[in-house]
Amino acid sequence: MVDILQVRRLTKRFDNKVAVDGISFSLKGGQCFGLLGPNGAGKTTTIEMLEGVLAPDEGEILFHGKPRSSTFRQLIGIQFQNTALQERLNVLETLKLFSRLYESPLPERELLQRCQLDELAEQDTHKLSGGQRQRLLLAIALINDPQLLFLDEPTTGLDPQARLNFWKLVEQIKASGKTVLLTTHYMDEAHYLCDEIGIVDQGQLIARDTPQNLLDQHIPGIYLSVSADYEPLLDTLGIGCEHQYGWCRWKSNNVKAQIEQLQQAGLQLGDIQIQRPNLDDLFLNLTGRSLRS
C-alpha cells in the first residue's frame, strides 16, 4: 500500500505553549489508523491541522505525496464530534442539503442504504436516537465518496449495541478500500477497528505500531487477579500487587507456575482471574495516566 498522507515535523503553538511538537507519521491507503491520547496531549490539535481546520506553525502535510491543494476538501470526509443539523428537516432532506456542497456527491438513497438509514429517511433529525444521529453524520461525511475519512470520537455517548453497529459500518467502509483516521477514548474500539495506532502525549508521538505489537513490546506477560480479601495471603507468598476495584492484580511471566503456587496456598482455580494486557494497560505503561485523565 502507498502512503496517502504524510505528516512531517508538524508543530503548533498557542501563545507560549507547544501543543504539537514535531509530530511525523505516514498513513497508508486502505488502512484504519487510530490516533490516541489523553486530554490535552495534542491529539485534537493534530487532527484539526490534518483536516485543514488549523494551519500548522511548522512542518508539512502531504496528500498523495504533494502539498494539499484547493481540491483537498473535496476528497476527504469528516465526522466531527459535534455537528449542528438544520432543524425541521428529515434525514433525506438533510443529505440533499449537504450534497449541494460537493461537485460529485453520491446518490442520497445509496447513502441511506450504506448507513442503515433507509427506514429513517422521513424522520425529523431532532427525533433521532444517539446511534441514528451518528449514522446520519457518517452518511454526511461519506457524501463526496472521500478517499480519506476522519472520524473524531464517533461513538462517544452511544450504548454498547449502537457502538457495535457503528463499528460494523466502519468495517464495511474499510473493506471498500477507504482510508480512515480515527480518534477515540474507547480502547476496545481502537483494538477492534485499527490496523495501526499512534499514541500522542505532551505533543509528541511516543509510540506507533499495530495494537498487538505494541502490547507485546511494552507489556510482555499476563495479568493475574484475585479478590483483595486474599492480599494477606499474597504478602506471605511475596507477591506484590496493585489494587483495582476490589481486586489485587499483578503481572506474571510464568502463569502456570504462579497458579500452582496459589492453589498450593489454598486458592481455588475459580478464585483466580487471568487477563491479557489491553490498550488501557499500554497507555498507563507509556504515559503514566489513563486516556480519561
Q: Supply the pLDDT for residue 98.
A: 94
pLDDT of 289 > 90? The answer is no
pLDDT of 291 > 90? The answer is no
Read off the pLDDT of each residue in 108-130 and give the average, rounded to a whole number: 95
Pairing of strands 66-67, 76-79: unpaired
Percent of the chain scored above 90 by pLDDT?
85
Q: Supply the pLDDT for residue 293.
A: 44
Read off the pLDDT of each residue in 174-197 and give the average, rounded to a whole number: 94
Give the Å distances, CA to CA, from 282 to 59, 151, 293. 29, 22, 15
Q: Are 114 and 139 within 8 A, CB to CB?
A: yes
Q: Are 129 and 58 within 8 A, CB to CB?
A: no
Distance CA 8, CA 186 (A): 27
Mind listing the pLDDT tens digit for each residue in 122-166?
A: 999 999 999 999 999 999 999 999 999 999 999 988 999 999 999
Distance CA 45, CA 55 (A): 10
Of 272 and 293, the one with more pLDDT: 272
Report residue 117's pLDDT band, with 50, 70 and 90 as the boundaries.
Answer: very high
Residue listed under C-alpha cell 505494541: 214
Question: Which burial class, exposed, middle or buried, applies to 179 when counting CB atoms under 10 A from its CB (0-12, 13-18, 19+)?
Answer: buried
SS3 276: coil
For the range 116-124, what are the long-range contacts, defined as Cβ-Cβ under 8 Å and sequence gap of 24 or more? Answer: 116/165, 116/169, 117/91, 120/91, 121/90, 121/91, 121/92, 122/90, 122/91, 122/92, 123/90, 123/91, 124/88, 124/89, 124/90
Distance CA 60, CA 66 (A): 10
| pTM > 0.85 | yes
SS3 252: strand
Q: What angle in degrees, to the nearest 10, is found between the helix axes of 279-287 and 211-218?
A: 50
Of 2 and 274, the one with more pLDDT: 274
pLDDT of 96 > 50? The answer is yes
Report residue 233's pLDDT band, with 50, 70 and 90 as the boundaries.
Answer: very high
Mind listing the pLDDT tens digit for each residue in 32-72?
A: 999 998 888 899 999 999 999 999 999 999 999 999 999 99
Report residue 290's pLDDT band, with 50, 70 and 90 as the boundaries.
Answer: low
